[in-house]
Chains A and B, each alone.
Chain A
Amino acid sequence: MNRLKNLFKELSSYPSAVIGLIIISILVGISVYTIISIPYSEAIRLWRGGEEVWFDTPKNALPIWTNWFRSAKLPDTIKMNSEDASIEKSIEVVSDDTTTISFSFTFDYNFDDFPQEISLFFENKYDVKAPYISLRWLTPDGREIQVAEFKAEHSKDYRFTQDSKLERRLDGLPAVHGLFADLTAERPFLVRGTYQLFVDAMMFEDDADVDAELVVYGQVHGLAGTDHRRRDLMVALLWGTPIALSFGLLAALGSTLTTMTISGIGTWFGGWVDEIIQRITEVNMILPLLPILIMIGTFYSKSIWLMLGVLILLNIFGSSIKTYRAVFIQVKESPYIEAARAYGASNIRIIFSYLIPRIIPMLIPQLVTLIPTFVFIEAALAVLGLGDPILPTWGKVINDARVNGALYEGQYYWMLEPSILLMVTGLAFSLLGFSLDRIFNPRLRGM
């Protein structure tokens, strides 16, 4: 305990170690928060749910904070539902079997750019005959535009932007432009103010009802933006953190601990055991790691945990065996080992209680600097399209961005967010590792 305290005391004199530790604790904090606030099943639903989960978010929307840096504010998404109490429905009986329901969506539009899309999602109740809907649009400058008339089935989606009739009525402008611009002006410009959409529904049954949700898709969404499938990137960024950290830590721990043990056993027994371990290490050195992982990913399974296992397996006989061996050979000749042998300690006891503890100081910095290597290998596999099929990871977001041409289309946030997180994680661990290296290897101190 005291030693740990001393270590922290010493670490705090290295600014880079302090920065590294702070970043790592923030990352761990984010991981804990993520796992508690978005449980695994919820994350999977949000990330892989399908259109019904993502329907009301815009496509490829920028993060909301980009508005802080521009003078023309991009619109946020506006959502209104007729089931809310704020929207009043007026019901009028026209004849025996015909009633009309009308309601209107009223909203202020004070942004400097046009929305991305406008859609109306109906939720209608009827038995046989579907209600007949007509839509009117009222602009702040008092113009009324006839939008559309149609028969609305149980869950009809009306997308303004895909209605070519509406487009013709709006002088051939796309619906988002036409509805929000002053068409009488020579060069149509965006009109700010209160807009209204009137929904008049004609019902042909007694207990029929009409409800609708209006979504005016903005161009910004959330703190992270969205991707090509309208998914909120925040889910992947948040969940990527615990996955990256645990993957890196488990792989680093698994490989260093096994390497250390094998190296210790080899050096202690010497002779043919050592010889075999040395040769395996040499063969392992020329085994192409990534192609083998790729083969396994393509032929068997892309599961992140299988990859983790294989990665550890391929790293057991890594080149660090030789480094440890050099130290073990020196330690093996120390008097205290001699003493242990003299009182009859078993081989296992000598290896695990006397040999291995001696290289732990050397091991800790190496373990910490290894973590980012593995985090990046996971990302690399994802970039090659071999990411875990279920879990959202940073690498998969980078891959999505790359494959969908985010860089060509200027959607830099999409590529940058996961990359910066990866970078920060890598830097934090290597900053800490460098400082630990100096503390445990006094020879490097002051150099």
Chain B
Amino acid sequence: MSNAALNMEMDDTPQEETKTGFEVFSRVAKYSIVRLVMLFLMVLIGVYLTILVANMGGYVDEMRRGFIQEMVSVAIFADESAEMKRMTPEEKNRLIEQQVALAEKRLGLDKPFVIRSFGFLQNAITLNLGRADLMISDSGSKTVRLILLERLPPTLVLWGLANIMLFFMSLFFALFLSRRYGSLIDKLIIALAPTSSAPAWFYGLFLILIFAAIFQILPFGSMVDAPPPESPVMYALSVGKHLILPVSAIIFSAVFLNAYNWRTFFLIYSSEDYVEMAKAKGLSDREIERRYVLRPTLPTIITSFALILISLWTGAIILETVFNWPGLGRALYRAIGLYDTPVIVGSTVIYAYLLAITVFLLDFVYALVDPRVRIGGKGRST
């Protein structure tokens, strides 16, 4: 059902006017590029703010200075060479000072913060996130970028799957309910809608309690069995088994509210005159639903879904922590525990990117389905 809703796009375009195909494409492309540039500027500002927060009061600089000081003194006092032994403590101190100054200069710590902050910004935007203090990636590297990129696929698998399922399930439920308006199941879903006030991680706790602790049929957390199965098929099955609970938690936390809200959109739109007209013409219910109800509500639904996605990203960190899912959120949680500043700042930057990409993708879909962008002319009015 819901697939048909999106496929309609492809069906309709050639039917309407084949020669405007290119025009539509260029309009969508133009709209997308403008949005992309806007979003990039937004990421730039967002990341800069993040850097400011992370460096507020020079706290991070202070930590780095302390770190350099310690490294240099340890290196000098541990140096057992004859040349070092001849030095008096004063001479050693002077040497330490010199080396610290050199190291600070090399790292640019002698310049004022404002200038350095732009350097940080450039590094952050290009994902040149420096080296972790304590954490190491599975491949043994201390580069923050590698640590975080290694964590990205599990996060994307979990969130991609959960969100796609959430979208289609909500759409399906909403259509189903709008057809059975006022029935028992409709009332039940309305009654369940307030449960969405609790976030996904919270339902995760309950699901773990029920299915892992009491019934012991599903794993407590993590991504694959330990040790991981050898064959790719078994590996995928094992990942699938571990996905059940977190994905259910995400879906459960949002699906009822979505179904309720979208059902209301559908009901509002199905009382429009043109729907009555279509009914009078004798079109089938399916047809009416597809062409006259789903079609005009789609942009609104996508916008509402975008907002849900953004709030779900926020919960990602805790959900991954609760389920021990080896994604970005879990890496961030560990970094907090270890006070690993570069990793914390790095993950914040990556989250900003992920949010921006999410917003962009939804904008793109929006551009595809919104007639004002596709056929009309003026683009999206905010």
Contact = CB atoms under 8 A, between A and B. Distances in A.
Do the two chains bind? Answer: yes
Interface of A: 16, 278, 282-283, 285-292, 294-300, 319, 322, 369, 372-373, 376, 379-380, 383-386, 398, 402, 407-408, 410, 412, 415-416, 419, 422-423, 426-427, 429-431, 433-434, 443-444, 447
Contacts of A426: 194, 197-198
A423 B203 CA distance: 10
Interface string B302-322: 000001001001110110011
Contact of A384 (B60, B208, B317): B317
Contacts of B318: 290, 380, 383-384
A418 B70 CA distance: 44
Interface in B313-340: 313-315, 317-318, 321-322, 332-333, 336-337, 339
B66 to A, nearest CB: 14
Contacts of A386: 336
Interface stretch (B135-143, B279-287, B347-355): B347-355
B314 A290 contact: yes
A431 B347 CA distance: 36
A447 B317 contact: no
A310 B313 CA distance: 19
A407 B214 CA distance: 9
Given A322-B382, A384-B321, A429 B201 contact: no
Given A373-B197, A384-B318, A410 B382 contact: no
Interface residues of B, number: 60
A286 B356 CA distance: 6
Contacts of A299: 54, 56, 59-60, 341
B46 A283 contact: yes
Main secondary structure of the interface of B (DSSP, over half): helix
A16 B59 CA distance: 49
Contacts of B267: 447
Of A285, A300, A398, A423, chain B has the most CB atoms within 10 Å of the CB of A285
A298 B194 contact: no
B196 A430 contact: yes
B77 interface: no
Nearest to B43: A286
Given A385-B337, A415-B209, A427 B195 contact: yes
Given A295-B50, A412-B213, A423-B202, A430 B197 contact: yes
A383 B324 CA distance: 13
B93 to A, nearest CB: 30
A296 B317 contact: no
B209 A288 contact: no
Given A287-B352, A288-B348, A290-B317, A422 B333 contact: no
B345 interface: yes
24 contacts: A283-B45, A285-B310, A290-B317, A290-B318, A297-B336, A298-B344, A299-B54, A299-B341, A300-B59, A369-B197, A372-B198, A373-B197, A383-B318, A383-B322, A402-B205, A407-B209, A407-B220, A408-B220, A416-B209, A422-B198, A427-B194, A427-B198, A430-B193, A447-B181
Nearest to B260: A434
Contacts of A419: 202, 205-206
A407 B197 contact: no
B197 A444 contact: no
A73 to B, nearest CB: 23
A247 B310 CA distance: 23
B321 A383 contact: yes
Contact of A291 (B205, B206, B332): B332
Contact of A376 (B195, B202, B208, B337): B202
A27 B337 CA distance: 33
A295 B209 contact: no
Given A288-B348, A289-B314, A419-B206, 14 more contacts: A282-B42, A286-B355, A290-B318, A297-B336, A376-B197, A379-B202, A380-B315, A385-B336, A386-B336, A408-B220, A422-B202, A427-B195, A431-B194, A433-B194
B359 interface: yes
B43 to A, nearest CB: 6
A369 B201 CA distance: 19
Top 6 closest pairs, chain A to chain B, by CB: A288-B351, A430-B194, A430-B197, A291-B348, A426-B197, A372-B197
B29 to A, nearest CB: 21
A331 B19 CA distance: 43
B257 to A, nearest CB: 9
B213 A408 contact: yes
B311 to A, nearest CB: 8
Contacts of A402: 205, 322
B53 interface: yes
B138 to A, nearest CB: 22
A298 B310 contact: no
B38 interface: yes
A310 B312 CA distance: 20
A429 B42 contact: no
B238 interface: no
Contacts of B195: 427
Of A372, A384, A398, A444, chain B has the most CB atoms within 10 Å of the CB of A384
B99 interface: no
Of A291, A292, A410, A415, chain B has the most CB atoms within 10 Å of the CB of A291
B53 A288 contact: no
B38 A295 contact: no
A16 B198 contact: no
Of B202, B206, B212, B307, chain A has the most CB atoms within 10 Å of the CB of B202
Contact of A423 (B198, B307, B337): B198
Given A422-B198, A423-B198, A294 B307 contact: no
A301 to B, nearest CB: 11
